[in-house]
Amino acid sequence: MPSNQTTGKGKYESTQKFLDIAEIKEDTVVLRNGTVRSVLLVSSINFALKGEDEQNAIISSYVGFLNSLSFPLQIMVQSRTLNIDAYLAKLDALEKNQTNELLRLQIVDYRGFLKELLDLGQIMTKKFFVVVPYGGVDLGKKKFLEMTTDVFSPTKTLKLSRDKFAKFKAELGKRVDFVLGGLSGIGLNAQVLDTQSLMTLYYNTYNPEIADFQKLNEIDKLRLD
């Protein structure tokens, strides 16, 4: 019997029942415990190429930013194997349609270089995210038995009323603005993920094996200037 099949019912449970996410709306992630989240896509700094004074300044700014926080943050680094199959297919099409022999040979050489580079080892891409939270129930007051039951049961949803969601979203927005300002002080650019980008992020996170073949809108289209 498959592990995700419901015993005695002959039906498969939906994976969504076991996720912490209740819904994604208005550029906000609503969790099943009643808390809300904003997710920021953040640029990176090539720290090793900075001079000693610049490195010290970055570290000082980062420490100051952390010390200024009055709420928790989640910093997430997502690594994925670089997939350039679509790009290679585009090069193939350009080669076939190229009438200039010199340019055609250059495309062939370039495509061969990329394939050889990929054969040498997996090339990884990294994206950096900061998750900003707000609100929710006092999880610290849960009894041990309730916490144990939550582990072995599908996550239960705590509904947010329209007014409460609006209040939470407004307060969350203040935190996001504060974080954006702090990151800017370090020299990092950041962008708040909208609803579609959030859906793409979580879809790719929970479906890494099929995300390359069954895509939502690409989060890679976002640019951090």
Least confident of 31-45, 98-112, 113-127: 113-127
More confident residue, 154 or 113: 113
Residue 148 pLDDT: 44
Residue 43 pLDDT: 93
More confident residue, 224 or 176: 176
The residue length of the chain stands at: 225
- pTM for the whole thing? 0.69
Residue 16: band (very low, low, confident or very high) from pLDDT cuts 50, 70, 90: low
Render pLDDT for 148-195 as a digit per residue (tens, 0 to 9).
444 445 555 566 788 889 999 999 999 999 999 999 999 999 999 999
Render pLDDT for 17-66 as a digit per residue (tens, 0 to 9).
677 888 899 999 999 888 999 999 999 988 989 999 999 999 999 999 99
Residue 8 pLDDT: 47
Distance CA 181, CA 189 (A): 10
Domain definitions of the chain by residue range: 15-79+128-221, 83-121
Distance CA 23, CA 130 (A): 19
In the numeric block, the tokens 């609006």 are attached to 166
Three-state DSSP string of 27-74: CEEEECCCCEEEEEEECCCCHHHCCHHHHHHHHHHHHHHHHHCCCCCE
Residue 217 pLDDT: 52
Residue 202 pLDDT: 86
The contacts found for 149-154 with CB under 8 angstroms, 24 or more apart, are 154/13, 154/17, 154/18
Least confident of 20-24, 110-114, 134-138: 134-138
Is 103 in a helix, a strand, or coil? helix
Distance CA 193, CA 179 (A): 14
Q: How many CB atoms within 10 Å of residue 158?
A: 14
Q: How many CB atoms within 10 Å of residue 107?
A: 18
